[in-house]
Amino acid sequence: MQNQPTILSSGKLHGDGRMASLSTERLRDYRGVVTDTDVWGWFMLRPDDVFVVTPPKCGTTWMLNIVMMLIHGRALPDAGGSQHAPWLDAAFRDRREISAFLDGLDRRRCIKSHTPMDGISYAAEPTYVVVYRHPVDVHFSLRAHAANMKHDWLDYMFPEDERAGFRRFLDAPLTDGGTDDLTIASIVQHYQEARAREANGNVHFFHYADLSRDLPGQIARLAGLLGIPLSDAVRDEITEATTFATMRNAVETSERRFHEDTPFHDLADFYNSGSSGKWEGRLTAADMDAYTARMAELLPSDDAAWLNWGDRRAP
C-alpha cells in the first residue's frame, strides 16, 4: 500500500459534451473481503458527479435513493439500486463493467463507495456526501446483515456470543481493508478522512439520526447542496418514498424478495429495522462504558458526540 501521485482524469461536463480535465488525488489502496479500489486508477470523474461515501449500514441505500430521486426530480422505485447508482469499488463485481456503464451515462451520476476518502479519487468539483450513524447501531445492523447473507464472508466477525463480537468490534486493529474491517477503528478512520477534506467545501456530512428526526428538512438541505430546485410537492413526494416503511414495503411486495440470485435469504431484511439503540438488552453497562472509553481514545469529545447522535449530539 503506497502513496500515489496526483492523477489527472478527464471528465465530460454534464449535458454539453465538452471535456474537462479534473485534478484528482488518491493516496492509497484498500483491498478487503468486499472492497477493491483498483477501479479508481482508471475511472474518469465528471464535475457534477455525486459520490455517496459511507461506512456500511449507515444509511447508504437511503441516501442513494434520495440523491437519485432528486436528480430525476421525482420519486422512483429502487432509485438508489445498483442499476442506477452502482457501487464502483465492490471487489465481487466487474469494476471495469461498472466503470464503462457510468462512462456511458448522459445524465448526472450518483456513485456509491464504502471506502475512506483517501482511497477514492478526490477532486474539487464533484460533490461528496458522507453519512454516519451511531457506531454501536452500525455493529448490530451489520450482525443482522451478515446473518441474512447466503455466503459466509463476514460470519467470523459475528460469533454467536454477541458480547465477544462486540469486543472484537472495539479492539480489532485497522488493516488495509478499510471499512471491510467492520470495527470502530475503521468507522472512525472513515470519518476522519472525510473531516480532513470538509474545509474544501464539497464534502457534506449527514447523520442517520438527523435523517430520522427530520427527513424532509434533510432532503431540502441536500437539494440545496446539489443545486437542484425542489418544490414542496416534490420534497413531500420524495419524503414519503424514502421512509423506512415505504422502502421496506417495496421490497416485501417485490417478486425478487426471495429470488435465488439475490445475495440475501430475504431481500426485505436488508431493511432490518431502521431503529436506534440496538444494543439495549444485548450489552451490559460495562460494555457501553468500554465503548465510550474507546471512542475517547479515538476522537475528541465533540466529534464523538456527533458521530453518535448527529447535530443534536445527544439522543
172-208 residue pLDDT tens: 999 999 999 999 999 999 999 999 999 999 999 999 9
What is the model's pLDDT at position 14? 42
Indicate the pLDDT class of residue 157, thresholds 50, 70 and 90. confident
What is the model's pLDDT at position 274? 55
What is the model's pLDDT at position 246? 77
What is the model's pLDDT at position 138? 94
The overall average pLDDT reported for the chain is: 87
Indicate the pLDDT class of residue 253, thresholds 50, 70 and 90. low
What is the model's pLDDT at position 249? 67
Q: Are 56 and 182 in contact (CB under 8 A)?
A: yes
Question: Over pLDDT 90: what percentage of the chain?
Answer: 70
What is the model's pLDDT at position 105? 96
pLDDT digits over 81-131, tens only?
878 999 999 999 999 999 999 999 999 999 999 999 999 999 999 999 999
What is the model's pLDDT at position 251? 63
What is the model's pLDDT at position 62? 95
Q: Given 3-state DSSP classes, what are the helix, strand and coil percentages for the chain, each rounded to the nearest 5?
A: 45, 15, 45
Give the architecture-level CATH label for domain 7-312. Answer: 3-Layer(aba) Sandwich (3.40)
> Residue 229 pLDDT > 60, yes or no?
yes
> Residue 9 pLDDT > 70, yes or no?
no
Indicate the pLDDT class of residue 158, thresholds 50, 70 and 90. confident
Domain residue extents for the chain: 7-312
pTM of this prediction? 0.87
